[in-house]
Homo-oligomer: A and B are copies of this chain.
Amino acid sequence: MSNSFGKRWVVTTFGESHGLAIGAIIDGCPPRMPLSESDIQPQLDRRRPGQKRLTSARMEPDTVSILSGLENGLTLGAPIALEIRNRDIRAGDYAAAQSAPRPSHADWTYRAKYGIQASSGGGRASARETAARVAAGAVAERFLFLAHAIDIAAWVSSIGAADAPDMTGHPPTRAQVDASPTRCPDPAAAAQMAEIVEAALKDGDSAGSAITCVCRNVPPGLGEPVFDKLHAMLAHAMLSIPACRGFEVGAGFNAVRMRGSEHNDVFTWKGGRLGTVGNRSGGVQGGISNGENIVFRVAFKPTPSIAKEQVTADYEGKTGRLAIKGRHDPCVGIRAVPVVEAMAALVLADAILLAGIPPARSF
């Protein structure tokens, strides 16, 4: 496996639902940065199941402890170990998965690769692993904000056929995002989305979704221009989130339909340096941030765990009917919002350290 992400701000996660704990080690966080558990807990709470009407009913308190790397509220430059003890485990819910692989899950591929699989179903493929990412990402967000005033906002921009209007010019606050149960900050679209999710739930089914993310105050110069372009790292990070199926930056797939004269971002003088009039580039040119907002969009497939019966083969190849029980989100995008923010923060923190950009303000 490869459970680490980043080159200079390196995060390594561990843990499965059935074990004692899940967690992460952050290696590379600069010294003398103020940090406490209360900087991390809010994002964990946003990711936690059971918080909203349209997410899974499981209660996972997900309380984080910082085990190392801190003294007197300041980081030491040493690895920061974060731990979340496991509590609410109901292994029985997953029993159905034992004889037949769940369609569009990792059951079969894990067995093919490892010859063994955690009884709790997903094991490392479980969405639970993303709690460790969210915890580590919250520390990265803290660094980005304290040192560079960078802020990151993600929201649900599509569910099924419902699309929010473009809000990338004026991204919403987290409070605005969390005001609706679908985490879409546009009330009209949010209402439509809620209907779509509820209709799916009623049918024992699930819905696909998309998340839009904007990162503001990102300094120019982030990204390594050949293989580790900033948007390539973002794509890597986003596609590593369970259920993610696509990534686009700036105009993205819409650029396919455009001509160069429409798509090009011409330059203009902006507050003391060159900027661009539009932002079809999504803040990245030649793989390097240009000082405009970083804008990208991420596609999530509908939750594969559905109550509706599926006709599918078991491990021996015998076809039968499978209905997946248990508590599952009907739309993964809603709880994935803080995961997208976390992964974006990890990419930006790593890129800043790789580029050697000094803090714009001291801790």
Which B residues touch A253, using CB under 8 A? Answer: 210, 245-246, 248, 253, 299
Cα A362 to Cα B210 with chains together (Å): 44
- Contact status A5-B227, CB under 8 Å: yes
- Contact status B116-A300, CB under 8 Å: no
- Contact status A302-B27, CB under 8 Å: no
A286 touches which of B106, B115, B287, B312 (Cβ 8 Å): B106
- Contact status A210-B299, CB under 8 Å: no
A2 touches which of B68, B80, B112, B228 (Cβ 8 Å): B228
Which B residues touch A226, using CB under 8 A? Answer: 1-3, 13, 124, 129, 240
- Contact status B12-A25, CB under 8 Å: yes
- Contact status A285-B105, CB under 8 Å: yes
Stoichiometry, as copies per complex, reads 4
User: What residue in chain B is nearest A77 (Cβ atoms)?
Assistant: B114
- Contact status B78-A1, CB under 8 Å: yes
Knowing A109-B286, A239-B232, the reply to whether A160 touches B208 (Cβ < 8 A) is: no
Chain A residues in contact with chain B, CB under 8 A? 1-5, 7, 10, 12-16, 18-23, 25, 27-28, 31-32, 65-72, 74, 76-81, 83, 100-101, 103-110, 112-119, 122-125, 129, 158-161, 200, 203, 205-210, 220-221, 224-229, 231-240, 242, 245-253, 255-269, 274, 276, 280-282, 285-291, 299-306, 308, 310-315, 317, 319, 354-356
A4-B227, A106-B225, A235-B247 known; 8 new pairs, CB 8 Å cut-off, are A23-B81, A113-B225, A125-B225, A160-B256, A208-B259, A252-B299, A260-B308, A266-B312
Q: Which 4 A-B pairs have the closest CB atoms?
A: A106-B286, A246-B248, A269-B317, A109-B288
